């Protein structure tokens, strides 16, 4: 079985667990919204960069940001360095959601460490980090 398919399976599992945990915590985010929110850094990001990072068009990113903005997860503030641009910033509610996500992610990581053994998991993580150089178009 191709490693990429195995990665897909594991990654999908995590996404679903995270999404479920968010819902349980009262955050009714769609998958696409959650993926976007996950990529908004603490110090804000421009829509165009966000789109690039999430691998969607600017229009799609704008559409999704509109939604999570309306729901109170992010805010758009003027970019002080460029009058055309605005920065998408994580709001309080978004920060709380990110915290929920990180918590369940850590739990899953512990599960994986138990299942594989911590050193094997570390090997996998390291290898995947290396792999990123030839698989991540964003960097």
For DNA, give the closer residue by CB, 62 or 109.
62
Cα separation, 77 vs 82, whole angstroms:
11
Q: Report yes or no: 91 and 72 within 8 Å, Cβ to Cβ.
A: yes
Nearest-angstrom CA–CA distance, 88 and 40: 7
Chain residues 3-32 in contact with DNA, contact rule CB under 7 A: 30-32
Min separation Cβ 88 and DNA, Å: 7
Helix, strand or coil for residue 83?
coil
Q: Is 79 in the site for DNA (CB under 7 A)?
A: yes
Instruction: Report whether 68 contacts 36 (CB < 8 A).
Output: yes
- Residue 56 lies near DNA (rule: CB under 7 A): yes
Among 59, 103, 125, 135, binds DNA (CB under 7 A): 59
Verify binding: residue 31, a second copy, rule CB under 8 A.
no
- Interaction between residue 128 and a second copy (CB under 8 A): yes
């Amino acid at each position: 079985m191709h490693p990429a398919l195995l990665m897909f399976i594991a990654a999908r599992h995590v996404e679903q667990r995270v999404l479920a945990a968010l819902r349980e915590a009262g955050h009714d985010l769609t998958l696409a919204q959650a993926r976007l929110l996950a990529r908004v850094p603490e110090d804000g990001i421009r829509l165009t960069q966000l789109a690039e990072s999430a691998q969607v068009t600017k229009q799609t990113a704008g559409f999704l940001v509109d939604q999570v903005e309306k729901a109170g997860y992010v805010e758009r503030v003027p970019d002080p360095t460029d009058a055309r641009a605005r920065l998408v910033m994580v709001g309080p509610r978004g920060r709380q959601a990110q915290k929920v996500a990180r918590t369940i992610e850590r739990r899953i990581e512990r599960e994986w460490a138990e299942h594989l053994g911590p050193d094997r998991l570390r090997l996998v993580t390291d290898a995947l980090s290396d792999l990123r150089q030839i698989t991540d178009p964003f960097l």
